[in-house]
Amino acid sequence: MHKDIATPARTRAILDKYGFSFKKSLGQNFLIDTNILRRIVDHADLTEESGAIEIGPGIGALTEQLARRSKKVLAFEIDQRLLPILGETLAPYPHVSIINEDVLKADVKAAIEREFEGIDDIMVVANLPYYVTTPIIMKLLEDKLPIRGIVCMLQKEVADRIAARPGTKEYGSLSIAVQYYTEAETAMIVPKTVFVPQPNVDSAVIKLTKRKEPAVAVKSESFFFQVTKASFAQRRKTLLNNLTSQLPGGKQKKEQILAALEQADIEPGRRGETLSIEEFARLSDALLIHFS
């Protein structure tokens, strides 16, 4: 068994050896607690037949734990300064592939087809850079990848928004978008003390299990998301106000919006945060004829 990367001393030694300096712009915070890394991997329920996709492997601390428990690991790393480090730290694990690409621009589906031949069970497991957490999660879900789910570390505040329920102040269009595709649960809270450099906020690990079918059936997925975004545009405003001001040509279509709200059996004076995902589905289907 090789020595763990994720100890404070080994992390410091690796960074010193390569003269590595953290880039604020890339949101680099490396984990230095092996127990927490193992617990993150536990939540992914990997077997020796599983594939794991990682985003932002850093110096390979989580990658190593994934490699020990899966058949194949594919990691996307945007920072080419880390490639020689990863080449050394992950040398004992020939079944790890590193792609030097921005995952937001990468063709992840093609990479999966190329790298995971014969592997049916694929999980994304990542310590996500805070500044691009939401776009990365949405891309992974919207690209309809053949994955079982996502276990990722992110800012606690974003995790709260993703797992939020109607009627809470955290609940918003992000909660609905993620819960449309997955079942979301917060798996664990992680203190800022287990990172170098220490971030300013606590983190959480969230587990997203992909649904076989979306949570609700809608006539137009893109319009459904447009309606949910519009409904939360200004949280203090009523649904009617948000929809008329946010939907294209909404100001001229106030009567149609009122009719659609009535058809969906939703009071126009309610606020977006009180609606369940089922109510948003009914509303977007009722509005669609007036906006397509």
Specify binding-site residues for S-adenosyl-L-methionine: 29, 31, 56, 77, 102, 127
Helical H segments across 24-76, by residue range: 34-43, 61-69
Asked if residue 12 lies in contact with residue 19, where contact means CB atoms within 8 angstroms, the answer is no
Binding site members: 29, 31, 56, 77, 102, 127
Two tokens at 240? 């009617």
- Contacts of residue 45, defined as CB under 8 A and 6 or more positions apart, other chains included, come to 123
- Calpha distance 275→96 (Å, rounded): 44
User: What torsion do the CA atoms of 167, 260, 250, 243 make, to the nearest 10 degrees?
Assistant: 0
Burial of 87 (0-12, 13-18, 19+ CB in 10 A): exposed
3-class DSSP state for residue 112?
A: helix
